[in-house]
Amino acid sequence: MKKVIYVMIGAFLVIGLLGCASISTKGGPSPKVTVITPTVKLSKKATVTIKGAGFKPGQEVAILFTAIDGVQSDIDYTLKPKPVADKTGAWLTTWSCGRFVSKKLIKEGTYTLIITDVDYNQMAKAKVTFVK
């Protein structure tokens, strides 16, 4: 009977380890994101240029922005071009954030951009500061 228990515990450990392994392989090389224009003047024509590296080639990226009301927005429709990693795992995009400014969803201060995959799993973070 002891053997049966050992087999059960062994099976449990193997399943657990497999689960952990599948989680760890999801990460891959750690993506890095840089805001090329880290300080932006508040205006209706404001733009923020963002670049990423270390992403999986072909990876589609979403960028989440938490506005002054505390609500998170996927700013996809305001990004040009759409952020998709190239063969080297890099991407570059410009966020036209003027409407957030004109609608008073951005005021002076530092904000965090969360870079995720299309299912909103977080991959990286970056900061941008808006000034008058």
Partner 1 sequence: MSKKMLVIGIALFIILSIGMAPTVHGVDFSKKTIKWIIPFKVGGGSDVWSRLYAPFFRKYLPGHPAVVIKNMPGGGSIIGGNYFDRKVKANGLTVFGSSGSTTFPYLLGVREVKYDFSRYYLVFASPFGGVAYINPKFGAKSVQDLKGFKEKLAYASQGATSLDIVPLLAFEMLGLDVKAVFGYKGRGAGRVAFEQGEADIDYQTSSAYIKNVRPLIKQGAAIPLMTWGVLDEKNKVVRDPMEPDLPCFPEAYEMIHGKRPSGQAWEAWKAFFTAGFAVQKGMWLPEKTKKDIVETYRTAAAKIIADPEFKVVVQKSLGGYKQLPGEQGRKAFEQVLKVPPESKVWLYGWLKDRYDVTVK
Binding site for partner 1 (CB under 8 A): 1-2, 4-5, 8-9, 11-12, 15-16, 19, 64, 67, 69-74, 76-78, 99-100, 102-103, 105, 119-120
The smaller minimum CB distance to partner 1, of residues 41 and 44, is found at: 44
Nearest to 35 by CA among 110, 120, 117: 110
The smaller minimum CB distance to partner 1, of residues 2 and 87, is found at: 2
Q: Is the peptide bond before 81 cis (omega within 30 degrees of 0)?
A: yes
The Cα 38–Cα 106 span in angstroms is 15
The smaller minimum CB distance to partner 1, of residues 19 and 29, is found at: 19
Give the nearest distance from C-beta 10 to partner 1 in angstroms.
Answer: 11
Give the nearest distance from C-beta 122 to partner 1 in angstroms.
Answer: 9
Dihedrals phi, psi of 29, to nearest 5 degrees: -65, 140
Give the nearest distance from C-beta 25 to partner 1 in angstroms.
Answer: 18
The Cα 51–Cα 34 span in angstroms is 5
Location of structure tokens 């993506």: 31
The smaller minimum CB distance to partner 1, of residues 55 and 65, is found at: 65
Tokens of 96: 């036209």
